[in-house]
Amino acid sequence: MDKKEFLISKGVDAETAIENMMGMDIYDEMIHDYMESLPNDFNTLINYKNTGDIANYAIQVHAMKSNARSFGFMKLGEIAYAHEMKSKENDVAFINEHFGELESAVNEVEAILEEYKNL
């Protein structure tokens, strides 16, 4: 199974993402940077949540949404979008109640990325 087929088998919208990045070579090169940045970006998000810095939480989760969608991780993108919208409304209760869903989606993407890098 090649990398593109692997991603598709995991529910990643790889077709669109690869097309938007002008091909598999660029996608493959850029996804390695994403692999390295996602854990740090998520830890930053956790810090903003825990300190009640909702303005920066909104900025960070917006970036998370955009990056996830760029690489075809639409589930994470949609959950991050919901958090972005609610954080812009200063809905801390939503963020706290639904943070586990965001964390699960990040963990799912990280697991896919871990497998991907070993292909």
What is the CATH T-level fold of the domain 3-117, as seen in this structure? Four Helix Bundle (Hemerythrin (Met), subunit A) (1.20.120)
- C-alpha closest to that of 94 among 57, 69, 64, 66: 57
Percentage with pLDDT > 70 across the chain: 100
pTM: 0.96
* Domain ranges, ordered by start, for the chain: 3-117
Residues 6+ apart with CB under 8 A from 105: 73, 75, 76, 79, 80
Residues 6+ apart with CB under 8 A from 62: 80, 84
pLDDT-based confidence at 1, cuts 50/70/90? confident
Quote the DSSP letter at residue 13: -
Tokens of 46: 């956790």
